């Protein structure tokens, strides 16, 4: 059984991380988790996501999103993925006194309101909107 499809491929090489110009200049002991995250989701891709999401937000007559707000939103989503709680999205906006779980409550309201979080979630886009194509048409 072959797990690696490139096992016998002529271009097979050892896996490696490809750092940008700044990454190559940064000694490995000075790299942060953010440096590794940006390998997976580069700032150029983040900028595109913000641009396309802002197009959808404008179409819904909502205020646009800044880079800082998107990174806050993304941090909240990552926290939800790492430490999931039962009860739907709303439980992440309840304080510790409202949550009897051993992990304690999480209150993201100082970072972002629940309504703003859901607006961004519903308008999140990774490509341009096209006229005449609805979300229901894509499967």
Q: Is residue 96 part of a domain?
A: yes
pLDDT band at 1 (very low <50, low <70, confident <90, very high): very low
Looking at the domain assignment, is residue 137 inside a domain? no
- The chain-wide mean pLDDT, for the chain, equals 79
Domain count, the chain: 1
Q: Is pLDDT of 99 > 60?
A: no
Q: Which of 20-34, 61-75, 84-98, 119-133 has the lowest mean pLDDT?
A: 20-34
What is residue 118's predicted lDDT score, i.e. its pLDDT?
96
Residue 98 lies in a domain: yes
Residue 11 is assigned to a structural domain of this protein? no
Span 31-40, pLDDT tens digits: 888 888 888 8
pLDDT at 52 over 90: yes
Residue 115 contacts by C-beta under 8 Å, 6 or more apart in sequence? none
User: Per the domain annotation, does 112 fall within a domain?
Assistant: yes
What is the domain range of residue 107? Answer: 40-128
């Amino acid at each position: 059984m072959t797990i690696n499809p490139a096992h016998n491929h002529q271009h097979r090489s050892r896996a490696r991380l490809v750092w940008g110009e700044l990454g190559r200049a940064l000694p490995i002991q000075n790299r942060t988790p953010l440096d590794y995250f940006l390998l997976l989701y580069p700032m150029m891709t983040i900028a595109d996501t913000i641009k396309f999401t802002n197009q959808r937000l404008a179409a819904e007559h909502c205020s646009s999103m800044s880079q800082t707000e998107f990174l806050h939103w993304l941090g909240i989503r990552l926290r939800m993925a790492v430490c999931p709680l039962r009860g739907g999205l709303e439980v992440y906006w309840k304080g510790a006194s409202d949550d009897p779980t051993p992990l304690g409550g999480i209150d993201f309201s100082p970072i972002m309101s629940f309504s703003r979080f859901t607006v961004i979630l519903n308008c999140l886009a990774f490509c341009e909107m096209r006229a005449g194509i609805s979300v229901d048409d894509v499967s």
